[in-house]
Amino acid sequence: MALTPERNFPTNPSRMLERFFNDDLMDWNLTNFSGPESNMPAVNVKEDDNEFNIEVATPGLKKDDFSVSVDNGRLTISAEREDEKKDKDEEGNYTRQEFSYQSFQRSFQLPDNVVDADKIKANYNDGILNVNIPKREEAKPKPAKEIKIS
């Protein structure tokens, strides 16, 4: 059993090259998770006998920036953040004004009749969003049972 991620691949290679050569690579504030050429956050999916665990690397975001939902067997993790920077001179005129917007959305198809959607939990700590998806009791592996011979 596995969670199936839905992937969005870059569709415009010329835009990727343009960003590589023209954007300031040292300005980390330019990172933007929106758009088809985006840098989706890294995701780890782990499975053990009792649960699935999804880890999403999203440094710089806050807990309130995230939304996690389940609908018809599809788990959706999304985040959105807006930022505004303004520099003014002594007369109150703008010398620089920048707006930035970051967003992403990842979806995972949950295995049918395996997970207990009512018990899914998520927490955000040190730039990592953890989503724990417990399995139903009937989906967990059963220990071997010794049968007495009469």
> Can you list the domains of the chain with their CATH numbers?
41-137 (2.60.40.790)
pTM value is: 0.65
Digit-by-digit pLDDT tens for the chain (150 residues) are 566 565 544 455 555 555 555 554 444 444 444 444 456 888 999 999 999 999 999 888 899 999 999 999 999 999 998 888 777 777 777 677 777 778 889 999 998 889 998 999 999 999 999 999 999 988 888 888 899 998
**What does DSSP assign to residue 114?**
T
- In the 3-class helix/strand/coil scheme, how is 21-47 assigned residue by residue? HHCCCCCHHHCCCCCCCCCCCCEEEEE
Beta bridge partners of 135: 115
Q: Residue 51: which of 115, 5, 122, 123 has the closest Cα?
A: 115
Helix-strand-coil percent breakdown of the chain, rounded to 5?
15, 45, 40
